[in-house]
Every structure is written in structure tokens, then in C-alpha cells.
Homo-oligomer: A and B are copies of this chain.
Amino acid sequence: MVAEKGMLIVVSAPSGTGKGAIIKKLLIEDKNITHSVSATTREPRKGEKDGVSYFFMNKSDFKKMITKGALIEWDEYCGNYYGTPKKYIDDVTAAGGDVILDITVAGAVNIKKECPEAVMIFVLPPSIKELERRIKDRGTDSTADISSRLEFAYSEFNNIGDYEYAVVNDNLDTAVEEVKAIIAAERMKYKRNPLILDNLYKGDLK
């Protein structure tokens, strides 16, 4: 079942929980979901396409979007701005498509204020030991970095209450199935299908 109106799906997780792999697999398996395209002020890299990789724009235009409230969240990173244009989300969802957004815990809190209907998913590691192992396995981090990454992860965990769902990523396939169950359930919500009775009286629902 696909809902009458698409939805915004927000997935957040501290680094080392495997959020990226979950989203990648989900996008392959569910063609009704697209990855959100962010606006940015950084220069396009080789091969990046405007409107596909990012919406590229200059700082003055980006700041105008902030002022107009045209971004549901934004942040500054290494001297450049990054944000999510409200219009892009609205266009995709109005056409029945779902948009997935992977953002930091800090950004996600704003999303819930701007889009109360967003589906908020928090990914957890199966244990602290496993989180530590995954962070170490990335190999490039020094002991101090690992320790500060863990501390940051702990601080992010404290925001779990801003999310509706908690998915434990012990096994990737299971975690993807769980996210798919959440999305399937959300698509069946009556509030996302307000015309279902009209459609029933008009003809077939399926």
C-alpha cells in the first residue's frame, strides 16, 4: 500500500550505528522512497549534478532561503551552508512519494517542529561494545578521536525521546526489514489516507 500523500522519513543515528548502509539498502528495495536533495553553498565536485547531488547556490541566495523560512533545517560546516529545502519535500510528497532524510540529531529536532507528520527513526547499536568496535574498525581514528566520538554518541543517545521509533542495528537485513515495517505501518495510517472512504465508495481500493 502506498499512502495518498507521501511522507518525510527522518533517520538519525550516532556514527558507527550503520545508518548509511540501512538507507542504501532501503532505497534499492523500495522505489517509492527517494533520498532528499540538500541545498549547499559549496562548489560542485566533478560529476555532481545540480538538482540531483545537491541544489548548488551562492551564499546570498542560501541566506534568503533561511530568511524566508524555505529550509526545514540548515547547518554550517567548514564555512559552507547545507540545508533541506521545504519545497523539494513538499513536491515529492504531494505526488505520493516518500522522502528519506539522514541528518544529525540536532537537525532532526528542528524537523519535528517544521513537519510534525514526519516519521522519526533513531538507529541504535546492539551494544556499546559493538559501537566501539565499529568506530575502531574505521581504522583512521586515533584513540583520542575514538573516545571523543563515543562521548558524542552518548550525548546523541539522550535525544532518542524526540524520535517515535527506535531500531536496533544488530544485523543489517533485520534492521532494514524493521525500517520497512515502520514505513509500511505509517503508510496505513488513516491520517495519511483521508480519502480512503471516498475511494471505497467510488470503486476498488486495490
Contacts and interface: CB of A to CB of B under 8 A. Distances in A.
Interface string A83-119: 0000000000000000000000000000000000000
Contact of A163 (B180, B184, B190): B190
A167 interface: yes
Contact of A124 (B126, B157, B205): B205
A122 to B, nearest CB: 7
A204 B130 CA distance: 9
A205 B165 contact: no
Secondary structure class of chain A's binding surface, majority of residues: mixed
Interface residues of A, number: 38
Contact of A165 (B163, B189, B200): B189
Contacts of A181: 180-181, 184-185, 188
A53 to B, nearest CB: 32
A157 to B, nearest CB: 6
Contacts of A170: 205-206
